[in-house]
Amino acid sequence: MRVEVARYAGVCYGVERALKLAEEAAGSGRPVHTLGPLIHNPQAVQALRERGVEVAACLEEADDGTLVIRSHGVDPRIIAEARDKGLDVVDATCPHVSKAHEAAEAFRRDGYAVVIVGEAEHPEVEGILAHAGGEAVVVESAADLPERLPSRRVGVVVQTTQTLSRLDEVVAALLPRISELRVANTICSATAKRQQSAEELARSVDAMVVVGGRNSGNTKRLVEICRAVNPRVHHVETAEELEGGWFEGAGSVGVTAGASTPDEQISGVIDAIEAMG
């Protein structure tokens, strides 16, 4: 059984940067907390915990030391509150997410109603929403657009891990309804490359495995994209979840991984599949 790995798979620059910043903070000797999971990968978060980096569900749980802002970003008021508490703040917000913040702020400042294409309760979208202002609308698809928009002048930003097709769908639905539209395509290029290479590989193999956290939006989207072109797609977080029956009769198996999946997790899955062959 041949195992092929997608050309683009696994951790992106923003995740690598966040992990490096958290690891550096862990070496300071002071208490370190991340505000929520640093990245959407339970195994990586546990590895950080073993190095002394704890997860705080809210600001009140971090009384002293260093607070690391996770890669998804937060409401800027939270950073100000943390500094007021005397915490050292390390901002590990992904630079691509910061660009979405800047775009949302610019649209609001210029008098546009902001539409955010993304998952309503995802922490990245909550951060973008905080920069977009009180009248911003969050939609996962064109069907979620409200009957009445706050303005006929609309600016669109998009969660960095969304698909271009989802953005196009929302833009097409908005165009007949408004007088002026501005769009900031804030989809991360690393995400787009992973999605394209995953789809290409899924079309060419007998079965597909996607590696990454079940709480990871970009990983779940890779699963959706692969399943649209290949019925034998399986989502795992670790090699221990693999089942031999998944690959019965398969001559080739493709492997891809979300942008928050460390290389060692991908390697472990590849080795386990090869051992089954």
Catalytic center residues: 124
Q: What phi and psi, each to the nearest 5 degrees, are found at residue 83?
A: -70, -35
Q: Name, in order, each residue with C-beta under 8 angstroms of 225's C-beta and a sequence gap of 6 or more.
A: 163, 195, 198, 199, 202
H or E segment and range at residue 203: helix 189-204
Question: Which of these, 163, 104, 115, lies nearest to 138 by C-alpha position?
Answer: 115
Q: How far is CA 253 from CA 214, 240, 257, in A?
A: 21, 17, 13
103 vs 167: CA distance, rounded Å: 15
Residues 199-221 as b or e (16 or more Cβ within 10 Å = b): bebbeebbbbbbbbbebbbbbbb
Sequence-distant (6+) residues with CB within 8 A of 220 are 214, 235
Tell me how far apart the alpha carbons of residues 225 and 227 are, in angstroms, rounded to a whole number. Answer: 6
CA distance readout (Å), 64 to 32, 55, 118, 190, 224 = 8, 13, 34, 35, 41
- Residue 248 φ/ψ, nearest 5 degrees: -60, 125
The C-alpha atoms of residue 75 and residue 109 are separated, in whole angstroms, by: 17
Contact 77, 147 (CB under 8 A): no
